Structure 1
Amino acid sequence: MKTSFSLRRHVAWIVVACSCVATGAAIAADADKFPSRPVKIVVPTAPGGSIDTTARILAEKLLEVWGQPVVVENRPGASMMIGAEAVARAQPDGYTLMVVHDGAMAINPAVYKTLRYQPGKDFVSISLINSIPLVLLANPSLKANTAKDLITLARQRPGALNHANGGPGTLLPSQLFKAMAGIEYLEVPYKGAALALASTIAGDTQITIADLASASGFIKSGRLRPIGIASSERSRAFPDLPTIAEEGVAGYQADMWVGAFAPVGTPQAIVDKIGQDIRRVLEEPAVRTKMEALYMTPVGSTGAELASIMARDTLRWSKLAKERNLEIEQ
């Protein structure tokens, strides 16, 4: 009896092991054939912004690599939560992806009391795509040509200035600036960067923070005045524009990054293939030229590197939100 039981157990383990090997082989084969049908990239913002532009540049080239349609679907609303939640609940097979910036993945968790998705649990990181500098902008009528001028003005007129924020992605960089500069001004929330920019252009608000890709046209037309780069280094596109750190706020730095994600549970072999293909596309001179012309810096990465950056930034912004007592009701 004892020998018979041991034999049955041994046979059972062999069956399980063979099943695992077969499953692994099947997944690897699926990855080799991926994609065999159209792929959807969800963008949780309206058409025309930096995330949307990034996704469309990527989709165009992935079509060439994969030989399958790559469709960009815009699912805006609720500070990117609607689109992010849709992807989190999608079938984890590699055919639904998300291109999104750090606002949804590192900042929303820091400020929203409840969030219908959990970036670290509901998604698998695929690759960074690019980084885009943030820029502090002023209405041309404001008597401030630099971040230092703005700080002086804010100290002379505490609470008199107001900042148009297009959501948590610019709210927290603004809050960081105020905390590090030792100033205060009013935060005026808008539903998206486009409305925040329009507000400052119209003079309804005096200042705003936006990504350089979205703001560059308004800067060139003179409708907005750039007064400080939020990055740790000056922009090559505007080399004469000092960083905020250079203007007396030592250590200030806030960049925007855009990355690619898939629903958790997506087979790792497929995630790896998508990541490899994205990094391959980002190395193409035509793609780099197109992104750099839009003030984006192409930056590929492994999924693990993106996950590490996301965790680091979530910790940073969560600490600031707690210090500033920032909490947004959904």
Structure 2
Amino acid sequence: MRVFTTMRGVVWGKVLLGALALAGMSPGHAQAPARTATPVADYPNRPITIVVPFAAGTTTDQTGRFLAKHITDATRQPVIVQNLPGAEGFIGLQHVLRQPADGYTIVIGSNTTHAANVSLFKKLPYDPVRDFVPVTGIIIGGVTLVVRPDSPYNNVQDLVADARKQPGKLSFGWGNSSSRSGGEVLKELTGINILSVPYKALTTAITDVIGGQITMVFGDAPAVMPLVRAGKLKALGVSTTSRMPGYEDIPTIAEQGIKGYQASGWLAVFAPKGTPADVVAKLNAIIVPIMRTPEAATFFGQNAWKPFPGTPQELAQFQQREIQRWAELVKSAGIEQQ
């Protein structure tokens, strides 16, 4: 896989791979129930539940519902999408770990739940590596830097120049790890001092940009681009290395003079630890062809996301790189753990 943000001249996507020694599990970790084998020849022979650890209407939710429909079409078994939002994904993930590891409860994890949280929190109630089995990547994409339509900034250089004149006066809001990394990487690469303002939801941060309470937000395309097209927000740049499909009129942040700038978000399918390897392989064999269809490319491409299906091993390696990327970002940016 290839992604990844450049920071201080070091390309995070090229960090040395290897086993990442995570801290031992605390007593707060969810205790999984007894595991029972599921014969792969019969799998699936009853409904599957996809847990979405974020609210309805989010990109994660839309992705879960797309998968549910197409897994049902492929297997003739009902697929239920269960939204369990809250606490940075903790609630949904802990629920999954309380279910039998038989392939009938899976979860859509993200760069937040399965990478960033390792470094953003002093203690997690789950271990994103030990407690989960990678199945396949789903989609990957970037964020868009937006400001009010009457903002004096018409490009990223305008904003950076003003931030240098007024250290600490400009602010960016964030409601997930993707939106946070967008601002932190800009700070890191330019040396500007802009205030980081956390929100429980990205939508609230976007509302505050429109209302003038904060200067900017780095938002997922599905959340901000309809508002850009409606004239309620102004887009200054995108975080990807090339312009986003469907939004080619918006330049990348890197091409506006912020050399090496890149930030990304992603979604992937995980199963609870103990899920039989043959069931994981069957899940992978069901989902990967779905994500390689023209329909998937069109559905996700309209919101500037790209499918990135692959093997469980590829997802595991990708996840390790992302964990390392976040560890470096948290350290270099001086982000205080919660």
Query: How far off is 1:177 after superposition?
Result: 1.2
Query: How far off is 1:48 after superposition?
Result: 0.3
Q: Distance in 2 between matches of 1:168 and 1:294?
A: 18
Query: How far off is 1:44 after superposition?
Result: 0.7
Query: What percent of counterpart residues are identical?
Result: 33
Residue in 1 aligned with 2:197? 188
The SS at the match of 2:129 is helix
Matched, 1:43 2:52: yes
Residue in 2 aligned with 1:219? 228
C-alpha RMSD of matched pairs (Å): 1.5
Contact 1:96 1:262 survives alignment (8 Å): yes
* Amino acid in the other structure paired with 1:255: S
Residue in 2 aligned with 1:157? 166
Residue in 2 aligned with 1:237? 246
Which segment drifts farther, 232-241 or 222-231? 232-241
Q: Distance in 2 between matches of 1:291 and 1:32?
A: 32
1:114-139 CA distance string (max 9 Å, x none): 11111111101100111122111111
Q: Distance in 2 between matches of 1:252 and 1:295?
A: 18
1:254-313 CA distance string (max 9 Å, x none): 111110000011001000110111111112332332222232212211111111111101
Matched, 1:142 2:161: no
Q: Distance in 1 between matches of 2:225 and 2:243?
A: 15
In our comparison, the structure showing a higher alpha carbon Rg is 1
Question: In the alignment, which of 107, 113, 131 is matched to residue 104 of structure 1?
Answer: 113
* Amino acid in the other structure paired with 1:304: Q
Normalized against structure 1, the TM-score is what? 0.88
The SS at the match of 1:93 is coil
Contact 2:237 2:250 survives alignment (8 Å): yes
Q: Distance in 1 between matches of 2:135 and 2:70?
A: 17
Q: Distance in 1 between matches of 2:315 and 2:113?
A: 14
Query: How far off is 1:104 after superposition?
Result: 1.2
The SS at the match of 2:144 is strand
Normalized against structure 2, the TM-score is what? 0.86
Q: Distance in 1 between matches of 2:294 and 2:258?
A: 36
- Structure 1: runs of 5+ lacking an equivalent: 1-25
Matched, 1:303 2:304: no
Contact 2:131 2:273 survives alignment (8 Å): yes
Question: In the alignment, which of 32, 41, 49 is matched to residue 41 of structure 2?
Answer: 32
Query: How far off is 1:167 after superposition?
Result: 3.1
The SS at the match of 1:121 is coil
- Structure 2: runs of 5+ lacking an equivalent: 1-35
Query: How far off is 1:151 after superposition?
Result: 0.5
1:236-275 matched pairs, under 5 angstroms? 236-275=245-284
1:159-191 CA distance string (max 9 Å, x none): 111111113332233111101111011111111
Q: Distance in 1 between matches of 2:139 and 2:314?
A: 13
Query: How far off is 1:62 after superposition?
Result: 0.4
Q: Distance in 2 between matches of 1:263 and 1:278?
A: 17
Give the total of aligned pairs. 303
Contact 2:114 2:319 survives alignment (8 Å): yes
The SS at the match of 1:119 is coil
Contact 2:141 2:306 survives alignment (8 Å): yes
Query: How far off is 1:37 after superposition?
Result: 0.9
Residue in 2 aligned with 1:13? none
Q: Distance in 2 between matches of 1:268 and 1:207?
A: 45
Contact 1:111 1:168 survives alignment (8 Å): no
Matched, 1:169 2:178: yes
Q: Normalized per residue, which structure has more helix? A: 1
Question: In the alignment, which of 106, 114, 119 is matched to residue 123 of structure 2?
Answer: 114
Query: How far off is 1:324 after superposition?
Result: 2.2
1:183-203 CA distance string (max 9 Å, x none): 011111111222121221222
Q: Distance in 1 between matches of 2:208 and 2:316?
A: 34
